[in-house]
Structure 1
């Protein structure tokens, strides 16, 4: 594996995160429950991880602020515009998926 210094690795990881964030902001058709069912994480997880990282670094970043960074708008606005009611099949898959995500 190529040797990458810490600063370059951090910049690459940040760029990959921004690309994922932007991709999820553009793919509003992809529901959080589908992400959870398939990958075990969703936009809310990303925002929680951002807030936790901020707290560890001593940076004041509230839960709602972190969600706005991830969603590209306030969470309630995103929900009103893009979040559909989960189907019974999605809810059942969610319940089943979390047996293994424990």
Structure 2
């Protein structure tokens, strides 16, 4: 497989993951962090970093809007729930001071 095809496939898989997470608003970021060690915010930060590595100026809010499909504050108001004590404990246990 050539590099251009590999990049196209990786980009398509990333877009599918992004779209899947936009649809699965029931899955909270803390659940993703506790189970996988990353969340939507991590993905949007990686997107921002990739843009900046290529000389494309992008701030955190623009990256989050690209990934969430709307401004982050709007997504948070619509979909984010307060983390339960057990979710918070799992996060503290697995991520410490991160």
Shorter-chain TM-score tier: over 0.9
Structure 1 ranges of 4+ moved more than 3 A: none
Aligned equivalents of 2:34, 2:67: Cα separation in 1: 19
- 1:32 corresponds to: 29
Q: Which runs of 5+ in 2 are unaligned?
A: none
Aligned equivalents of 1:50, 1:18: Cα separation in 2: 11
TM-score by length of 1: 0.92
Q: 83, 92, 97: which one pairs with 2:89?
A: 92
Q: Which runs of 5+ in 1 are unaligned?
A: none
Aligned equivalents of 1:45, 1:23: Cα separation in 2: 16
- 2:67 corresponds to: 70
CA RMSD of aligned residues (A): 1.0
Once the two structures are superposed, what CA deviation does each residue of 1:24-49 show, in whole Å capped at 9, x if it has no partner?
A: 00000000000000000000000000
Report the number of matched residues: 97
